[in-house]
Chains A and B, each alone.
Chain A
Amino acid sequence: MCGIAGLIHRGKSSNVGKELQGMLQALKHRGEDSTGYALYGDTDGKNFIMRFKVGENVGEGSSSVMEETSVYDERKKIVDQYLSELGARIVKEERILPYSLRYEIAYDTKDLLEFSQKIESIPGVEILSMGKSLEVIKDLGNAKMVCDRYNLDKVVGTHAIGHARMATESGVDIKSAHPFWGYPFSDVSVVHNGQLTNYWNNRRLLENKGMRFMSECDSELIAVYIAQKMREGASLEEGMRASLTGLDGVFTYFVATKDSLGMAKDTMAAKPLVLYESDDLVAMGSEEIAIRSILPQEIDTYDPFDGEVKVWQI
């Protein structure tokens, strides 16, 4: 079933880590196989932040294969070596969990395609996000568990999107968890609730154009689809509008960039979304209780209509 939530503060920053945790935890009955956060934090914008994994969480319910920590260490070493070869300098390094790392990187090249391809050529390594504001954190368990594991409740930023997953189309693992990074675009992320029925056709087309897929989760297609549209020169909103006919199935999804947040709903309006919009805050989720977790007072909310696309700026 899955639940999605998102919020954007306009003109100010807030504790988006804690706010999104509350929203996603309110949706945990929609799925707690895994939970993911795409947080757009306040940074100086100088360095890239790369969130990546060198292995999988193989806890209870995981569909991944157990590996030795030494394997993770070896992969990390190769990542460091490749970064050096790419001319990227590691400014700050954090190993949050044996398999999950956060690097701040000084890197001048704008095109991240070559960069990403080289790093991800290491078997078992996946870049979860790359951007100057975006950080994608995803792992098995519900919103609170993931938030506690990665200390997300103090993250301050302008906007965020997140996903509470009930695995239906692919495995219970981090690679299939949302949000998906809009590879190879800096600071683009996607969460999705629904099912896409023309996944393989679109995937083959996009792979022929050089785009990469790390999982067999149909939701990843949206991130890649939008990214490809943007690569061809479309704006975020244009890419999202194209998806209403280019993607077949039922879906409600959010896309976030460094300074904007968008939502799209399929033409059947088969997946839920409740939206609250004011001058300084937009909050939305699969159910109103997600919004109520940050706005307990009486508010005006509504369901966007079928085929609706909206984009807000910070």
Chain B
Amino acid sequence: MANLKTTDKKSKSQSMGMHTEVLTGRTQQKFFNPSEAENFYYFGTYDVDFNKRTELDVKEMTAPEANKKIDNLMSQGYGTIVIKNPQGKHSLGVGILNKLNLIFEGSLGYFGMGSCDGPTVRINGRVGWSCAENLMAGKVVIEKNAGSCFGAAIRGGDLICKGSVGARTGIDMKGGTIIVGGDAGAFTGFMMQRGRIIILGDVGINLGDSMYDGTIFIGGKIGSFGSDAVPGDLTSNDQDWLKRKLKVAEIGEKFDVSKMTKIVSGKKLWNYDNLEPTEKKGAI
């Protein structure tokens, strides 16, 4: 167990809205001991060579067959895999816990690239609902549009859509960055808990509804604010970060970030009061 230091000084990450709480007390996290390295094994990972490239046509495969084949190719050391004919199939590319260059020549259906940790993915098409749900790390770039629940509950990594996305983008996200080149639907950032969302176009109604924390940046018009979502101050730190992020994302590099609207949590919802559950019960 490790003790975390308590500090009153506001860090840069806090000022940018990446998180706002001050860490206190002890963490439950068990820290890694290098002397025990050989005892740790991350299931489903392989040593791959990015220069070792292959193509996989999944036209006649089911999603489990295609995913198993990708896993098999990684086990053979292939670090760059091009998927042909995905044809809107659901649940392709899920559960990849590896460094990997993965390229889809076409569109994915629902739950594409779900629960991944580490791969760099380019999808030369569209994605359906819940793309990259629970992404832990890595980068996923979608060249066209995306469906609803884009980046639901992601914890890390960069998720980039060059087109427009549906409703509830970044719902329940707990980290990472979502960048959208076009418009986004209703309830963007619904109940987000940490991380950042950048939408260069317009957004629908109830933006940032019930967000606990994190930051949303909007380039276009806002349909309406959701409960407890309030405008924040767009600082120079924010603008520097936005420029850098948009450049790395190969999207909106020349976008005038100084005119973006920043949205943060107003922290007025019930979960921010100091009542203990028993007290709350009494209050009700």
Please give the residue numbers on chain A whose beta carbons come within 8 Å of chain B beta carbons, in ascending order. Answer: 267-270, 272, 274, 287-289, 291-292, 296, 298-303, 305-307
Known contacts A274-B147, A298-B106, A301-B126: does B186 contact A306 (CB below 8 Å)? yes
Q: Which of B110, B146, B148 contacts A287 (CB 8 A)?
A: B110
- Residue B90 is within 8 A (CB to CB) of chain A in the complex: yes
Q: Is the CB of B107 within 8 A of A268?
A: no
- Residue B163 is within 8 A (CB to CB) of chain A in the complex: yes
B126-165 residues at the A interface, CB under 8 angstroms = 126, 128-129, 144-148, 163-165
Report chain A residues within 8 Å CB of B183: 305
Chain A to chain B contacts (Cβ below 8 Å), 20 pairs: A272-B128, A272-B147, A288-B126, A288-B128, A289-B89, A291-B88, A298-B105, A299-B107, A300-B126, A300-B145, A301-B107, A302-B145, A303-B146, A305-B166, A305-B167, A305-B183, A305-B186, A305-B204, A306-B185, A306-B186
Report chain A residues within 8 Å CB of B107: 288, 298-299, 301
* Residue on B nearest A299 in the bound complex, by CB: B107
Q: Is the CB of A302 within 8 A of B163?
A: yes
- Additional 13 contacts, C-beta under 8 A, given A289-B89, A303-B145, A307-B205: A268-B186, A269-B167, A269-B185, A287-B90, A287-B109, A289-B88, A289-B90, A298-B106, A300-B144, A301-B144, A302-B163, A305-B183, A306-B167
Instruction: State the Cβ distance, B284 to closest chain A Cβ, in Å.
Output: 25
- Residue B181 is within 8 A (CB to CB) of chain A in the complex: no
Instruction: State the Cβ distance, B59 to closest chain A Cβ, in Å.
Output: 9
How many residue pairs, one in A and one in B, have C-beta atoms under 8 Å apart?
76
Q: Which of B88, B166, B168 contacts A288 (CB 8 A)?
A: B88
* Residue on A nearest B186 in the bound complex, by CB: A306
B80-101 residues at the A interface, CB under 8 angstroms = 87-90
Distance between Cα atoms of A287 and B148 in the complex (Å): 12
- Residue B175 is within 8 A (CB to CB) of chain A in the complex: no
Known contacts A269-B186, A301-B126: does B205 contact A306 (CB below 8 Å)? yes
Chain B residues bordering chain A, tally (CB within 8 A): 30
Q: Is the CB of B88 within 8 A of A292?
A: yes
Distance between Cα atoms of A269 and B129 in the complex (Å): 12
* Residue on B nearest A296 in the bound complex, by CB: B87
Distance between Cα atoms of A295 and B87 in the complex (Å): 9
Distance between Cα atoms of A289 and B91 in the complex (Å): 12
Distance between Cα atoms of A270 and B129 in the complex (Å): 11
Q: Which of B105, B148, B164 contacts A269 (CB 8 A)?
A: B148
- Residue B125 is within 8 A (CB to CB) of chain A in the complex: yes
Report chain A residues within 8 Å CB of B110: 287
Report chain B residues within 8 Å CB of A299: 107
Distance between Cα atoms of A242 and B254 in the complex (Å): 41
Distance between Cα atoms of A296 and B89 in the complex (Å): 12
Report chain B residues within 8 Å CB of A274: 128, 147
Distance between Cα atoms of A299 and B183 in the complex (Å): 20
Report chain A residues within 8 Å CB of B90: 287, 289
